Structure 1
Amino acid sequence: MRNMASSASSKGIAAIVGVGPNLGRSVARKFAHEGYTVAILARDLGRLSRFADEIAREEKAQVFAIRIDCSDLRSVREAFEGVLSLGSVEVLVYNAYNQQPVSWNPTIFTDIRVEQFEKSIAVSSVGAFHCAQQVLPGMVERGRGTVLFSGCSASLNGIAGYSELCCGKFAMRALSQCLVKEFQPLGIHVAHVIIHGIVGAPRGAVASTSQHRLLVGEQEEESRGRDGLMDPDALAQTYWHLHIQDRSAWTQEIDLHPSNQRYM
């Protein structure tokens, strides 16, 4: 864990799980900008520490980098021991996904290895389950809190060649719906954010077109061209507005599309 300041903000902790260079980093920056102490979690601690330094410097905020492997219960528990040592978790954003080491192309079902399928389920849904279990007791005790899950088009529809992705994302959506029914009456806002599109680097960021990625949670796919890419900073605004919604009108699921997306 990388400590960027000596004490946590009085607003509490925003824990962002699955922080990569685009959406996760933008969500973390937004909550830091709004005065929260931010814990950012991912597997690559070196890259995560660089993000923590950057956000802390730009936003004059308290940022902590903590390594986590969302497919491993022990790693999740150890990571959240670190998070909870900072203070009360007021916000959990679960944005993790099991990235494949090769480019994102459809995989013939019979060619999918069972280990690959199980790892995808473990990160997308079982990891979300474990992380939510770490923070919900404290939220219930305080009678407030926000839990946000990042989904994608595969959360809603099966896609040929992407069974491991769809099954993991389907399960996470079901988890979100179950938590809404159980915890919303206790003052906990749970919502599922479905991102239908390609998320690029933030506007103004220096990046070649070959570095643009498709994000479905934290998954990314190389994309050609800039047109139609969704700005992660704009998406982060939606996560923030979900958190500050009045409890008399909570959103439970939201679909986000780029304006130029064609509908079939």
Structure 2
Amino acid sequence: MTEPVEQNHENTRLAWIAGVGASAGLGAALARRFAREGFTVAVTGRSRERLDALVDAIRGAGGHALALPGDVTSESDLAAITRQLGERGTLEVAIFNAAGATRAPTLELSAEQFEAAWRVTTFGGFLFARAALQPLLANGRGSLLFTGATASLRGRPPFAAFASAKAGLRSLTQSLAREFGPRNIHVAHVVVDGGIDGERLRTSSPQRVAERGSDGLLDPADIAEAYWQLHRQGRSAWSQEIDLRPFNESF
């Protein structure tokens, strides 16, 4: 890995992104976007190897990043990560990008699969928010952002588990916004209404990628730009929810 450049931790601005996997995914795009603005990006996911590769790429481009692997459904993992963040600087942005993308017809969907989707997407979002809010509130300001999906707004087969979990996450963000907005924490939910042109979709559904054609998928870098603009919003005109979709997506 590229050796990190020494920083004055007292003045370090941190952006924490949970749900980071493939280098050609949304989590990685978010990390690169905030690193471009001078943030030290802390990336969390289950694969240490993938996190290290992303961190190395960001550092190689002159940015600052650190890998903090962990499980968003584990209180102890998240507590350990927030302790490390406290030693590194001041948390200003926290982004929850994790999801349990369970897909199965309802009569073939096991109870364990249904619960797993909820555990990562909704329960994980709650645990992440609770962990991130402590340093954000201590800082007196900040952004707490969540990745949603078409399924956040409407359910259809074979996504009963995913849709219910995403709808639950959306409701959670609304509750958090009403509770912590008055305490200067900008809570926002981003509905990604369409397929993301990343490694996951290109690997699992190459036919869908081909069918969508030009302007049929969302570019991760363009999505990340929207998150950056959300963070920059003045509090006299905060968005609690925005939706993003590719040029030729129907809605």
Instruction: State the TM-score, normalizing by the size of structure 2.
Output: 0.90
Q: Contact conserved, 2:98 with 2:121, CA < 8 A, in 1? A: yes
* Structure 2 portions without partners, runs of 5+: none
Runs (4+) of structure 1 moved beyond 6 Å? none
Which residue is 1:19 aligned to?
20
Q: What CA distance in whole angstroms lies between the structure 1 residues aligned with 2:205 and 2:149? A: 13
1:125-164 Cα shifts (integer Å, max 9, x gaps): 1111111111212222332010000000100111122111
The counterpart of 1:233, out of the listed 195, 209, 221, is 221
The counterpart of 1:137, out of the listed 134, 138, 150, is 134
Q: Contact conserved, 1:13 with 1:36, CA < 8 A, in 2? A: yes
The counterpart of 2:209, out of the listed 196, 215, 224, is 224
Question: Per the alignment, do residues 67 and 3 of structure 1 end up closer, same or farther by CA in structure 2, a change over 3 Å counting?
Answer: farther
Q: What CA distance in whole angstroms lies between the structure 1 residues aligned with 2:136 and 2:42? A: 17
Amino acid aligned to 2:143: T
Q: Contact conserved, 2:100 with 2:117, CA < 8 A, in 1? A: yes
Q: Give the number of equivalent residue pairs.
A: 242
Which residue is 1:96 aligned to?
98
The two structures, once aligned, show a CA RMSD in angstroms of 2.0
Question: Per the alignment, do residues 84 and 128 of structure 1 end up closer, same or farther by CA in structure 2, a change over 3 Å counting?
Answer: farther
Q: How much has 1:80 moved relative to structure 2?
A: 2.6
Identity of aligned residues (%): 34
Q: Contact conserved, 1:148 with 1:193, CA < 8 A, in 2? A: yes
The counterpart of 1:185, out of the listed 182, 197, 203, is 182
The counterpart of 2:109, out of the listed 112, 119, 125, is 112
* Structure 1 portions without partners, runs of 5+: 101-105, 202-210, 215-219
Which residue is 1:47 aligned to?
50
Q: Contact conserved, 2:12 with 2:89, CA < 8 A, in 1? A: no
Which residue is 2:34 aligned to?
31
Secondary structure of the residue that 1:67 maps to in structure 2? Answer: coil
1:260 paired to 2:245 = no
Q: What CA distance in whole angstroms lies between the structure 2 residues aligned with 1:65 and 1:18? A: 12
Q: Contact conserved, 1:9 with 1:37, CA < 8 A, in 2? A: no
Instruction: Compare the two structures and name the one with the higher helix fraction.
Output: 2
Q: What CA distance in whole angstroms lies between the structure 2 residues aligned with 1:167 and 1:88? A: 34
Amino acid aligned to 1:235: I
Q: What CA distance in whole angstroms lies between the structure 2 residues aligned with 1:119 and 1:79? A: 22
Q: What CA distance in whole angstroms lies between the structure 2 residues aligned with 1:86 and 1:11? A: 7
